[in-house]
Amino acid sequence: QVQLVESGGGLVQPGGSLRLSCAASQNIFSVNSMGWYRQAPGKQRELVVTINNSDITNYADSVKGRFTISRDNTKNTVHLHMNNLKPEDTAVYYCNALGILYYNGDGPKHLDAYWGQGTQVTVSS
C-alpha cells in the first residue's frame, strides 16, 4: 500500500543534535500534512511538530527553539533537526502523514492518515 520510512534515530549525549528523516513511498503523489510525534515509555504519544502544504508549522512548546522541521514537497519527505537534546526527549519518534493521495495500480486512492514504524531516540550521558 503506502510506506513512511523513518531514519536517523540513535543515541546522543545531552546537548547534542540528531536529524530524523521520513520519506514517503513513491506511489504517494501528495500529502496534505506531515509531522512527528513521540512516545516515551509509560506515556501517551504526543505531538512534536507538524507542517502542512502551506509550510505552516505547529510545534509542541517543549521543543520550540530546539527542533526544526523542513519539508520537500516534491519528494514528500520531512526532516526533523533536533538540537540541544535533553534526556526528556528520549522516546520513539513516529512520522505521520495526513490526507494522502496514492496510486496502487487500480487508480488514485485516498488515505486519511498513516504512521511510520518509529525510530528510537535516546538522550543519555
73-96 as b/e: b if 16+ CB within 10 A: eeebbbbbebeebeeebbbbbbbb
pLDDT (mean) for 15-28: 95
pLDDT of residue 106: 86
Burial class of residue 112 in the structure, from the number of CB atoms within 10 Å of its CB (0-12 exposed, 13-18 middle, 19+ buried):
exposed
Residue 52 — pLDDT band, cuts 50, 70, 90? very high
Asked whether 96 and 114 are in contact (CB, 8 A), the reply is: yes
Position with higher pLDDT, 46 vs 54: 46
Q: What is the pLDDT of residue 105?
A: 83
* Rounded distance between C-alpha atoms, residue 29 and residue 76, angstroms: 8
Which three-class secondary structure string do you get for 2-16? CCEEEECCEEECCCC
pLDDT of residue 73: 77
The average confidence (pLDDT) of the chain is: 95
Residue 75 has pLDDT above 90, yes or no: no
User: In this structure, are residues 94 and 27 in contact, taking their beta carbons and an 8 Å threshold?
Assistant: no
